Amino acid sequence: MASRPYAAVALAVVSVSFSSIFIVWSASDALTIAVYRLAMATAILAPFALARRDAALWRISRRDALLMLLVGAVLAAHFGLWVTSLKVQGVTVASSTILVTSHPLLVGVLSHFVLRERISSRAALGIVLGFSGVVAIALADLGVSGETLLGDVFAFLGGVGAGFYFLLGRRIRQRVALVDYAFVVYGSATAFLFVAAAIAGDLAPRGDLPRELLLFLGMAFIPQIGGHTLYNWSLRWVPAPVVSLSLVGEPIGSSLLAWVLLSQVPSPAVGLGGALALAGIYLAASAEGGGVRTVEATRDIE
């Protein structure tokens, strides 16, 4: 039993690493992918959230419900931006996933300057290293094309969304059960994305419909439900350093999968920037309070 949470963390990291691969394989537009992924994930969670005997979902306060709608809007922005980044010509899975996973750096900066929380020297070093890596990746991709740099900006802004998602959801998750929280947030994010996709005319999948629906279902089951549900279950039993280390597991796993399945090999400059960014993300995440529960809400995302 003692080893099961660690096995769950490992399996969850592998599961979420497939997220970017499924997105690149899909022929559909970014908003279409985001809508179907979250809609299917919400449908999968619905029986667990609605059929519980304690009816906890219906006892959520109006204030928390409104806050979760706000979190859903932030999550919708996160997904819309990040998936868009992977659809930009020249943006690699490595660059995109590293940039979107940079939210521990942003959380550290926001905590210091907005919430007036003191950060440790370890966190400060992590923030400096991490942002040095982010700048190195951006400069390397600027050398490819301006469009590629724009894709990096989308991924980074997706990381900003993830940071706000974490800060907003952290306290709500202390009062609301994971299944109920995820059901409401995923459902509201789906609604916001549906409106955006309808306005943009991106509701219909492109390419082979059965293949696209299978990819969407894979995204909902594997990275969205299987990966994140297992991860959140395991956080009750694993120490904070394991949680912090696993935060950098997704971009590493995604980059390896992209190398094998998509024949994407990052340039040396992107590799160096990625190494700096991942080291900084690990330092910032591991110094962010030391508690396992503090990082819990960050894994309801990719």
Q: What is the pLDDT of residues 31-80, one digit of tens each?
A: 999 999 999 999 999 998 888 766 678 888 889 999 999 999 999 999 99
In three-state form (DSSP H/G/I as H, E/B as E, the rest C), the secondary structure along the chain is: CCCHHHHHHHHHHHHHHCHHHHHHHCCCCHHHHHHHHHHHHHHHHHHHHHCCCCCHHHHCCHHHHHHHHHHHHHHHHHHHHHHHHHCCCCCCHHHHHHHHCCHHHHHHHHHHHCCCCCCCHHHHHHHHHHHHHHHHHHHHHHCCCHHHHHHHHHHHHHHHHHHHHHHHHHHHCCCCCHHHHHHHHHHHHHHHHHHHHHHHCCCCCCCCHHHHHHHHHHHHHHHHHHHHHHHHHHCCCCCHHHHHHHHCHHHHHHHHHHHHHCCCCCCHHHHHHHHHHHHHHHHHHHCCCCCCHHHHHHHCCC
Give 102-131 pLDDT, tens digit per residue.
888 877 777 777 767 777 888 888 889 999
Candidate from 47-61, 92-106, 125-139, 188-202 with smallest mean pLDDT: 47-61
pLDDT at 233 over 90: no
| pLDDT value of residue 109 | 79
Cα 231 from chain centre: 13
Residue 211, φ and ψ in degrees, nearest 5: -65, -45
| pLDDT value of residue 73 | 97
Residue corresponding to tokens 């006892």: 59
Report the amino acid identity of residue 88. V
**pLDDT-based confidence at residue 292 (cuts at 50, 70, 90):** very low
| pLDDT value of residue 288 | 60
State the average pLDDT over residues 203-219.
Answer: 96
Average pLDDT, the chain: 85
| pLDDT value of residue 122 | 84
Length of the chain: 302
**pLDDT-based confidence at residue 2 (cuts at 50, 70, 90):** low
Entry pTM = 0.87
Better pLDDT: 18 or 145: 18
pLDDT at 12 over 90: no
Contacts of 250 (CB under 8 A, 6+ apart): 13, 16, 17, 19, 97, 101, 302
| pLDDT value of residue 75 | 93
| pLDDT value of residue 302 | 54
pLDDT at 211 over 70: yes
**pLDDT-based confidence at residue 236 (cuts at 50, 70, 90):** low
Candidate from 97-101, 142-146, 167-171, 278-282 with smallest mean pLDDT: 167-171
State the average pLDDT over residues 175-183.
Answer: 87
Counting residues of the chain whose pLDDT is more than 70, the rounded percentage is: 88
Cα separation, 30 vs 23, in Å, equals 8
Positive or negative: CA dihedral 14, 42, 184, 74: positive
CA–CA distances in Å: residue 161 to residues 43, 84, 152, 175: 24, 14, 14, 22
| pLDDT value of residue 297 | 42
State the average pLDDT over residues 165-177.
Answer: 79
Candidate from 106-110, 145-149, 203-207 with smallest mean pLDDT: 106-110
| pLDDT value of residue 232 | 66
Question: CA torsion, points 57, 62, 66, 71, in degrees to nearest 10?
Answer: -40
